[in-house]
Homo-oligomer: A and B are copies of this chain.
Amino acid sequence: MYKAIIHITLKESVLDPQGSAVKQSLHSLEYGEVQDVRIGKFMELELDEQDEQKAQARVTEMCEKLLANTVIEDYTFKLEKK
């Protein structure tokens, strides 16, 4: 079994309205030291797969086809053997 830990973040060039909203809320709570907030998704997938290279290829496909919108998002992932 493998566990895939995936991080999906907006590309640097893409505006992050959710991040801006959180920053404003933090400022209104007197956390003025916060200069920037970027928000992304974090996914943990349990895979019934014994071959690491196959798991690597399949998770890449899953990210490209479904999990990430590659027009505006970047993704990274790592695999952990369970």
What number of copies of this chain does the assembly contain?
2
Q: Which of A2-59 contact B (CB under 8 A)?
A: 7-9, 19, 22, 25-26, 29, 31, 33-49, 55, 58
- The answer to whether A40 touches B42, judged by C-beta atoms less than 8 angstroms apart, is yes
Whether A31 touches B43, Cβ cut-off 8 Å, given contacts A22-B67, A25-B66, A26-B66, is no
Q: How large is the interface on A (under 10, 10 to 19, 20 to 34, 35 or more residues)?
A: 20 to 34
The 7 closest A-B pairs by CB, nearest first: A42-B42, A36-B46, A35-B46, A40-B42, A38-B44, A33-B48, A33-B49
Question: What are 9 of the A-B contact pairs (CB < 8 Å)?
Answer: A22-B43, A26-B62, A36-B45, A39-B42, A40-B41, A40-B42, A40-B44, A41-B41, A42-B42
